[in-house]
């Protein structure tokens, strides 16, 4: 390292350092976006609008934690959004007839089972996560339609809408759903960076063979990751009912892609083993700020999609460059 | 020293170990002793069964027949975790370390030190630094650098240091010097010797005959899935080794 550092110019070294820190790029992008929208619109910086940005990002932000865990293992979860939508219907239907607590328990059971099934198929049968979760997405989406019978299910205010409760935080009035999202990020950050399980997850994602040969029980970690993704989807479903107290089988149809977008923009590598969950939080906020800011600036929804798409590709390109640099 | 260590009972003893892959008989009744405190070199041509044998010891391939004795008691190795639990560490040519982790993280991977359930990174960093210094591995400037940025020799050094840190009783090394230059090869061989001198059993697989003769206390030669000969370093030289590797027997004596 020392000789390699000497051989390079200081400028190249500091560039390397910048590119290798996974949080710096996304944070800079977030700050730039906030500054730009504050300058070009009068409305963006208003507390009410900032609170809205946070509330709009809560459900996707929660699901993006699950997506981060899966992507860090060099996998991908195309089903997590559809699973959360199924969760909202189960919560609303079972919760409506049997009471909110029973509804929550049944939802936990159903979504845990789906996550477990994903995990066993990926880890036990060594099937590609892309295929497993694509199949799961298709099946769960159809099952949701059958179960919901193309109807929507409003929920009574109470435990199931608890994540819609407003709290005053400084000058901001935000929902408990936003706080739940932030708490989930803290927990995930702690597990990933401060526990052995988290370290094993990085190891098996970045170097599966070496991790296995070291004696890491990769299969067990993988199953736990997909199971956790299912459980996180319960929280997302619950938070979704807090935001809009009406379970709709056709809601959140792009949630899968939006979580992947947040993860990638947040600097986590699709090749696994590199990235951070806090990057994903920043990625989620970048997308939310971009959409909100462009709306405030009067830009059409479709142009917003183009901007988001370009951002994803740029993020992946940056990841490739930094990987290549890390290898030389 | 060599004579002394050979009087101890072997740490690892294989008796009649066989392994087939479909119709291919990779190992045929292999007998092998690996004593503590010595470097046992495993020589043999390509396809002689060296890799299969070390994978059986590492727990990757379950054996079809035969006995594996650890400290004199039969054990069954059903996965890498079983071998690791016994104190066997295998250093593979390319797969010893995780590129996306740093040196400390790699050295403690799978045996992280915890304080109240939380990774104790300070203690791990100190222990890793101490171990590397203890082994006189001075070419690594920071234990927090990513393993991807290390040279081949440094990677092997870190893998060996990991074995010391974990107090692995048997270190199996697969071609540790295959991709290294002269100076780095000397450094790694020095570390291999240090391992044995500290009481670890070392099983060294290598193609490189001069290196092997430099560092080994005992030499076992494989040919067509069998261990055809195993003898002390003093009773072997390059010509005898080549005889054994190519024909399975020799009528030469050390000159």
Query: For chain A, which residues make up each domain, given as ranges?
Result: 31-327
* Coil, strand or helix at B58: coil
Inter-chain residue contact A215 with B141, CB threshold 8 Å? no
Looking at B168, B199, B225, which one is the last position of a domain?
Answer: B168
Residues B117 and B81 in one domain: no
Tell me the per-residue pLDDT of A43-81, one tens digit each, with 9 for 90 and over.
999 999 999 999 999 999 999 999 999 999 999 999 999
Tell me the per-residue pLDDT of A275-288, one tens digit each, with 9 for 90 and over.
999 999 999 999 99
Q: How confident is the model at residue B4 (pLDDT cuts 50, 70, 90)?
A: very low
Q: How far is B94 from chain A (nearest CA, A)?
A: 8
Residues of A in contact with B85 (CB under 8 A): 215
Residues B64 and B11 in one domain: yes
CATH number among 3.30.390, 1.20.1530, 1.10.3470, 3.40.1000, domain A31-327: 1.10.3470
pTM: 0.87
The answer to whether residue A7 neighbours chain B at the CB level (below 8 Å) is: no
Q: How far is B251 from chain A (nearest CA, A)?
A: 41
Residues B38 and B112 in one domain: no
Confidence check: pLDDT of A7 > 50: no
Confidence check: pLDDT of A10 > 60: no
Tell me the per-residue pLDDT of A144-160, one tens digit each, with 9 for 90 and over.
999 999 899 999 999 99
Residues B67 and B174 in one domain: yes
Q: How far is B91 from chain A (nearest CA, A)?
A: 9
Q: Decide: A217 and B85 in contact? Cβ < 8 Å.
A: no
Residues B57 and B112 in one domain: no
- CATH number, domain of B69, equals 3.40.50.300
Looking at B168, B186, B215, which one is the last position of a domain?
Answer: B168
The residue of chain B nearest to residue A216, with distances taken between CA atoms, is B110
* Token pair of B217 as six digits: 């206390």
Residues B74 and B61 in one domain: yes
B66 — alpha (psi -120 to 50), left (phi > 0) or beta? left
Give residue A14's pLDDT.
59
Tell me the per-residue pLDDT of B117-170, one tens digit each, with 9 for 90 and over.
899 999 999 999 999 988 888 788 888 888 988 888 888 889 889 888 888 999
From the list B60, B99, B118, which residue is nearest A206 (CB)?
Answer: B99
Residues B50 and B125 in one domain: no
Residues B67 and B179 in one domain: yes
Confidence check: pLDDT of A134 > 60: yes
Confidence check: pLDDT of B17 > 60: yes
Give residue A3's pLDDT.
39
Q: What distance in Å separates the CA atoms of residue B140 and residue B129, rounded to the nearest whole number?
A: 10
From the list B81, B148, B150, which residue is nearest A215 (CB)?
Answer: B81
**Mean pLDDT value across residues B15-23:** 94
Residues B40 and B163 in one domain: no
Burial pattern B225-250, b for ≥16 Cβ within 10 A else e, equals bbbbbbeebeebeeebbbbbbeeeeb
Residues B100 and B133 in one domain: yes
For chain B, what is the mean pLDDT?
A: 89
Q: Decide: B157 and B111 in contact? Cβ < 8 Å.
A: no
Residues of B in contact with A199 (CB under 8 A): 101, 105, 109, 112, 119
Residues B255 and B223 in one domain: yes
Residues B111 and B33 in one domain: no
Give residue A198's pLDDT.
95
* Token pair of B122 as six digits: 């300070």
Interface predicted TM-score (ipTM): 0.83
Angle of the A218-243 helix axis to the A196-206 helix axis, nearest 10: 110
Looking at B168, B199, B217, which one is the last position of a domain?
Answer: B168
Number of domains in chain B: 2
Q: What distance in Å separates the CA atoms of residue B101 and residue B144, rounded to the nearest whole number?
A: 9
- Give the domain extent around B138: 96-168
Beta strands B201-205; B39-44: pairing state = parallel
Tell me the percentage of chain B whose pLDDT exceeds 90: 53
Inter-chain residue contact A1 with B142, CB threshold 8 Å? yes
Tell me the percentage of chain A whose pLDDT exceeds 70: 92
Q: How confident is the model at residue A327 (pLDDT cuts 50, 70, 90)?
A: low
Instruction: Suggest the residue from B55, B94, B98 to mutate for an interface test with chain A (most A CBs closer than 10 A).
Output: B98
From the list B81, B105, B141, which residue is nearest A199 (CB)?
Answer: B105
Give residue A1's pLDDT.
36
Confidence check: pLDDT of A4 > 70: no
Cβ neighbours around B215 below 10 Å, total: 23
Long-range contact pairs involving A314-318 (C-beta distance under 8 Å, separation at least 24): A315/A25, A315/A26, A315/A264, A315/A265, A315/A267, A315/A283, A316/A264, A316/A270, A318/A19, A318/A25, A318/A267
Read off φ and ψ for residue A58, nearest 5 degrees. Answer: -60, -50
Residues of B in contact with A219 (CB under 8 A): none
């Amino acid at each position: 390292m020392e000789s390699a550092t000497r051989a390079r110019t200081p400028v190249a070294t500091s560039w390397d350092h910048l590119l290798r820190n996974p949080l710096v790029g996304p944070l800079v992008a977030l700050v730039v976006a906030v500054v730009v929208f504050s300058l070009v619109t009068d409305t963006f910086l208003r507390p009410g609008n900032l609170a809205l940005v946070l509330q709009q990002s809560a459900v996707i932000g929660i699901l993006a934690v699950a997506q981060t865990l899966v992507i860090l293992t060099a996998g991908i979860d195309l089903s997590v959004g559809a699973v959360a939508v199924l969760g909202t219907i189960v919560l609303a239907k079972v919760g409506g007839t049997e009471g909110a607590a029973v509804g929550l328990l049944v939802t936990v059971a159903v979504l845990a089972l789906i996550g477990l099934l994903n995990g066993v198929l990926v880890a036990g049968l060594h099937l590609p996560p892309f295929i497993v979760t694509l199949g799961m997405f298709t099946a769960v989406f159809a099952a949701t339609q059958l179960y919901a019978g193309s109807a929507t299910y409003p929920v009574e205010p109470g435990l199931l809408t608890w994540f819609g409760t407003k709290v005053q935080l400084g000058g901001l009035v935000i929902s408990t759903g936003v706080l739940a999202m932030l708490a989930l990020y803290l927990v995930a950050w702690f597990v990933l960076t401060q526990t052995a399980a988290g370290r094993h997850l990085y190891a098996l994602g970045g170097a599966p063979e070496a991790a296995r040969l070291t004696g890491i029980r990769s299969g067990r970690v993988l199953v736990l990751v997909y199971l956790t993704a299912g459980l996180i989807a319960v929280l997302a479903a619950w938070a979704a009912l807090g935001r809009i107290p009406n379970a709709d089988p056709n809601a959140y149809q792009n949630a899968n892609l939006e979580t992947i977008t947040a993860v990638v923009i947040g600097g986590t590598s699709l090749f696994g083993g590199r990235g951070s969950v806090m990057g994903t939080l920043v990625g989620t906020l970048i997308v939310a700020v971009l959409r909100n800011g462009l709306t405030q600036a009067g830009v059409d929804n479709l142009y917003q999609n183009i901007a988001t798409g370009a951002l994803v590709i740029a993020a992946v390109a940056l990841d490739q460059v930094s990987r290549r640099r890390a290898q030389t | 020293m060599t004579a002394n260590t050979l009087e101890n009972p072997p740490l690892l003893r294989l008796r009649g170990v066989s392994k087939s892959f479909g119709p291919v008989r990779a190992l045929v009744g292999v007998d092998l002793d690996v004593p503590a405190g010595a470097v046992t070199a495993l020589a043999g041509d390509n396809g002689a069964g060296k890799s299969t044998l070390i994978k059986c010891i590492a727990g990757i391939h379950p054996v079809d027949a035969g006995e594996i004795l650890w400290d004199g008691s039969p054990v069954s190795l059903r996965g890498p975790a079983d071998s690791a639990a016994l104190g066997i560490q295998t250093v593979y040519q390319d797969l010893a370390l995780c590129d996306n982790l740093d040196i400390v993280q790699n050295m403690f991977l799978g045996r992280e030190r915890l304080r109240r359930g939380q990774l104790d990174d300070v203690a791990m960093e100190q222990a890793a630094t101490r171990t590397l210094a203890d082994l006189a591995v001075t070419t690594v400037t920071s234990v927090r650098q990513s393993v991807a940025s290390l040279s081949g020799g440094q990677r092997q050094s870190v893998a060996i240091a990991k074995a010391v840190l974990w107090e692995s009783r048997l270190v199996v090394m697969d071609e540790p010097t295959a991709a290294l230059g002269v100076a780095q090869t000397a450094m790694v061989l020095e570390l291999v010797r240090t391992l044995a001198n500290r009481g670890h059993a070392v099983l060294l697989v290598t193609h490189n005959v001069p290196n092997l003769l430099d560092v080994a206390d005992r030499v076992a030669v494989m040919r067509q899935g069998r261990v055809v000969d195993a003898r002390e370093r003093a009773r072997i030289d390059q010509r005898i080794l080549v005889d054994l590797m190519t024909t399975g027997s020799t009528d030469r004596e050390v000159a």
